[in-house]
Amino acid sequence: MNYCLRRFFEAENLEDKRDYVICDKCKTTHPKGCPAVKQFFLRNPPRVLIVLLKRFKSYGHSLMKNNEDVDTLEKLYLDDYVIIDGIKL
């Protein structure tokens, strides 16, 4: 489960989508030299977290069920994914 959370919250490079991203600094699209990165964080971590796992893999026009085991824990520590007032915990 921790691996799944790390993958969900990791930064995603949007180099190929620069034409659709507006830079926060220069307020233009496709800025030269401005990296385009997307990353999710939590502001208020929930007391109860419900996780839906993607259980199918796409192969062209067909789907195959993903039978990989996912180990779950009784408690998840979300501190690495929480941001408060722009500061990561």
Tell me the pTM: 0.63
Q: Report the candidate in 46, 39, 35, 36 with the shortest Cα–Cα distance to residue 8.
A: 39
Res. 8: pLDDT tops 70: yes
- Give me the pLDDT at residue 10, please: 92
Q: Given the structure tokens 């779950």, which residue do they identify?
A: 72
Model pLDDT, residue 2: 84
- Say how far apart CA 88 and CA 49 lie, in whole Å: 20
Residues 6+ apart with CB under 8 A from 4: 51, 53, 70
Specify the pLDDT at position 32. 63
Q: For residues 9-38, give the mean pLDDT.
A: 72
- Find the mean pLDDT for residues 41-63: 85
* Higher-scoring residue by pLDDT: 24, 60: 60
